[in-house]
């Protein structure tokens, strides 16, 4: 039996329709949700993601501003812009597209964003709030993954969950959310001995490694829910995830595809966080 395919485009469409309705209701009361996106440099993938974020805002009736700097811009210029946006009442969410060029101190830049406008949830204050189980903004990718669990009725209480990857953007917040949902969580990474030992025990497996088709069918427990966070470009130009989709779908109970899985949900939850920020500011 092949796995249920968890369709990120369909789920994103459903949620975004609701966000548009809420945004229009808020705008009618005088507050139009506003997002500012800062892009530094010419990384082609980042440029696509930023374009898609701005387009998603337009479709959902949000205000958006895109600020683009050349790769050699001084960090101070970006910090001054963030200070300006922090004080701008039209802007409820500020996002700096990652990765930043090497001469930037990414942590310093992210800390410059006002925590109440940090719709990526990367500011230390918001990371701390998430750790304490009182999130203000949940980072968009793991937040999107939780929506798949809700939609598919995945039971997390008592489940064995394994997250491969320990990044600040995905692995760590994902593990925290699973833990708070009642799962027993293992975080695996590049130093993990016998990775397959862990993954084969997982009822829920989240792959965020950044290596194409890294998770193969023999590493997956039959019936497991497999979430693929990876986006890798193959030499032929095609996209693939961290999971060998064709093999693993024959073993798993449910699986997200790449493209069309977690990716569209990342942008959707950015809209969710921006809307939430705007609704809070209007209270
Ligand atoms: N400030 C941030 N930077 C980055 C984040 C983030 O959440 N905040 N995440 C990633 C990139 N990312 C959003 O910024 C992102 C990645 C992928 C997708 C997506 O929709 N992918 C599509 C395929 C798109 C394509 O054709 O290339 C899919 O999977 O179907 C959206 C957003 C790093 N930086």
CA of 29 to the centre of ligand 1 (A): 32
166 is in an annotated binding site: yes
Superfamily for domain range 140-263: NAD(P)-binding Rossmann-like Domain (3.40.50.720)
Indicate which residues carry an active-site annotation: 53, 97, 120
CATH 3.40.50.10860 fits 31-114, yes or no: yes
Q: Is 241 within any annotated ligand binding site?
A: no
Is residue 267 within 8 A of residue 185, CB to CB? The reply is no
281 marked ligand binding residue: no
Task: Give which of 31, 100, 59, 43 is closest to 264, Cα–Cα.
Answer: 59
> Which two three-digit tokens encode residue 90?
């039209």
From 231, 234, 245, mutation site for ligand 1 pocket: most ligand atoms within 8 A of C-beta: 231
- Global pTM value: 0.97
Please indicate whether residue 259, judged by its CB atom, sits closer than 6 Å to ligand 1: yes
Instruction: Please give the chain's pLDDT, 283 residues, in tens.
Output: 799 999 999 999 999 999 999 999 999 999 999 999 999 999 999 999 999 999 999 999 999 999 999 999 999 999 999 999 999 999 999 999 999 999 999 999 999 999 999 999 999 999 999 999 999 999 999 999 999 999 999 999 999 999 999 999 999 999 999 999 999 999 999 999 999 999 999 999 999 999 999 999 999 999 999 999 999 999 999 999 999 999 999 999 999 999 999 999 999 999 999 999 999 999 8
For the segment 110-137, what is each residue's pLDDT rounded down to a tens digit?
999 999 999 999 999 999 999 999 999 9
Ligand 1: which residue has its CA nearest to atom 23?
Answer: 259
Determine which residue's CA is closest to atom 20 belonging to ligand 1. Answer: 263
Ligand 1 nearest-atom number relative to CA 233: 27
Q: For the chain, which residues make up each domain, given as ranges?
A: 31-114, 140-263
Tokens 């705008």, residue located: 27
Per-residue pLDDT of 198-238, as tens digits, reads: 999 999 999 999 999 999 999 999 999 999 999 999 999 99
Contact 99, 43 (CB under 8 A): yes
Distance 49 CA to ligand 1 centre (A): 5
Residue 93 in contact with residue 34, Cβ under 8 Å?
yes
Distances (CA, A) of 57 to 63, 220, 267: 7, 37, 9
User: In the chain, helix, strand, coil percent, each to 5?
Assistant: 45, 15, 40
């Amino acid at each position: 039996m092949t796995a249920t395919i968890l369709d990120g485009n369909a789920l994103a469409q459903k949620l975004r329709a609701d966000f548009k309705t809420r945004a229009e209701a808020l705008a009618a009361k005088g507050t139009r949700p506003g997002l500012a996106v800062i892009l530094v440099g010419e990384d082609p993938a980042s440029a696509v993601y930023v374009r898609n974020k701005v387009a998603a805002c337009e479709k959902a009736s949000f205000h958006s501003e895109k600020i683009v700097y050349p790769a050699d811009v001084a960090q101070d210029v970006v910090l001054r812009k963030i200070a300006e946006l922090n004080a701008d009442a039209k802007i409820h969410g500020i996002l700096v597209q990652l990765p930043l060029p090497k001469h930037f101190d990414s942590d310093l830049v992210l800390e410059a964003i006002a925590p109440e406008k940090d719709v990526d949830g990367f500011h230390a204050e918001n990371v701390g709030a998430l750790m304490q189980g009182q999130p203000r903004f949940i980072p968009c990718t793991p937040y999107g993954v939780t929506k798949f669990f809700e939609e598919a009725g995945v039971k997390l209480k008592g489940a064995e969950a394994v997250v491969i990857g320990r990044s600040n953007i995905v692995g760590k917040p994902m593990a925290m959310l699973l833990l708070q949902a009642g799962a027993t969580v293992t975080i695996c990474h590049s130093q993990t001995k016998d990775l397959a030992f862990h993954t084969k025990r997982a009822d829920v497996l989240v792959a965020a490694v950044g290596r194409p088709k890294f998770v193969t069918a023999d590493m997956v427990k039959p019936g497991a829910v497999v979430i693929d966070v990876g986006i890798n470009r193959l030499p032929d130009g095609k996209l693939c995830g961290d999971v060998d989709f064709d093999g693993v779908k024959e073993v798993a109970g449910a699986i997200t595809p790449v493209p069309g899985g977690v990716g569209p949900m990342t942008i959707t939850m950015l809209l969710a966080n921006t809307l939430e920020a705007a609704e809070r500011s209007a209270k």
